Amino acid sequence: MSLVRVDAPQPAATDAKPALFAALSARFGDRFSTSASLRAQHANTLTWIPCQPPDAVIFAETTEEVVAVVALCADARIPVIAFGTGTSLEGHVNAPFGGVCIDLSRMNRILAVHEADLDCVVEAGVTRKQLNEHLRDRGLFFPVDPGADASLGGMAATRASGTNAVRYGTMRDNVLALTAVLADGRVIATGTRARKSAAGYDLTRLLIGSEGTLGIITSLTLKLYGVPDTILSAVCPFASIEGACLAVIAALQIGLPLARIELADAVQIRACNGYSHLTLPEQPTLFLEFHGTEASAREQVASFAEIAASEGGGDFQWAERQEDRTKLWQARHDAYWAARGLQPGAELLSTDVCVPISALAACVGETREDIDRLGLLAPIVGHVGDGNFHVMPLFDPNDPEERRKVQGFLDRLIERALRFDGTCSGEHGVGQGKIGYLAAEHGLGVEVMVAIKKALDPLNILNPGKIFRYHHDG
């Protein structure tokens, strides 16, 4: 017996693809396409990983249609890649072995809102902005906010996080149940609308963060929250990154219930000023938001202002009106595009790590020193309330030496995060881009993941080439 690489699906018959495509075209009509431009739009576009388009794209409108596509692809042993809005950052929607991309964007119905129970049921293609617009007049909102207007199915598949995670948690914490299509076309419903359960394995959490490799999520039951009575937003500059991080640590250690607390270093603030037409001091800066009653929110503000002053914080700039808060947070969400504007024509690698809060200042400080030593232009921005930060080095894609330098920086960044007992990704996920780091973080755990993958997808047709590469006895 020998070990054989099975990164690719089990091989299909030579004539499987034409027959499969003929069947799909007959069933889906103009919702099936092999257009080169459409296929390219459904592959990676936001990282330095090459674009690897699928062979065909299908726009599904129901769970039953997803079942039909997966079952046909399973019979033909052709890969299936789920697609939401394409905003993921580690090559999750690439098709390295070709196959069929199932675009779920038309599955965008909000099926139910249970106001008394603070939950809702949505199809996977509903986006977070669409849901919050629907909820606005009910005084409710869904808090997970990764910045991009991502689909909720995609956010669950990649275990998304965002600016509100410090108070409201990530997708892992806010999905009560889901429906998914397995690799053989069967449909599984995990969980219920109950807020807790001790009945069997937690299949909901197994599928959250599985990046489409174990099943294709088609609907979700989500927790909702009441819109706070008072929302106060502000920015506060600091003399140093270390001071800003220490202020965050101190605030969390005393139990200050911050809703959002985001860090942007001086380089990122320069980018935001230029892109979003702000006039902030070019210093390390915290973006903050406080939720509560008017009295409690202002009490939080006073407590944090005292902490900030003790760590070198400057004057707060407040944004109490809705339009001012929107502009402020939009600037934070546009950090990626703002960073690209610092060096037109350059490529940008957006990566993230996450460490325990107590290690945040040291990890960010060492990272900044590494950037400066290399002479890179690399803004730092992050959801520092939960120890997660992003680095975005810019480089000339045609310069092999610069690519080598950035790759070395990325390797050291992740080694550093693991040394601080952190993780190679707090929210971007593994995809293709971080496969090489998973073993160092999880050790034997990767073999357990592979065993689960083999059990649920023995033909390896669901988003193959993501999270890990594995072998089997041949």
What are the tens digits of pLDDT across the range 350-371? 999 999 999 999 999 999 999 9
pLDDT band at 308 (very low <50, low <70, confident <90, very high): very high
Write down the pTM of the prediction: 0.93
β partners of residue 72: none
What domains sit in the chain, N to C, each tagged with a CATH number? 3-105+447-473 (3.30.43.10), 110-226 (3.30.465.10), 230-419 (3.40.462.10)
Written as one letter, the residue type at 297 is A
User: Is the predicted pLDDT of residue 296 greater than 50, yes or no?
Assistant: yes
Burial class (CB in 10 A: 0-12, 13-18, 19+), 429: buried
What's the pLDDT at 471?
59
> What is the rounded average pLDDT of the residues 23-51?
93
Q: What is the DSSP string of 15-35?
A: THHHHHHHHHHHHHGGGEE--
Q: What is the DSSP letter of 227?
A: P
* Separation CA 69–CA 214 (nearest Å): 16
User: Is the predicted pLDDT of residue 472 greater than 60, yes or no?
Assistant: no
* Separation CA 22–CA 11 (nearest Å): 19
> What is the rounded average pLDDT of the residues 105-120?
98
User: Is the predicted pLDDT of residue 124 greater than 80, yes or no?
Assistant: yes
Burial class (CB in 10 A: 0-12, 13-18, 19+), 200: exposed
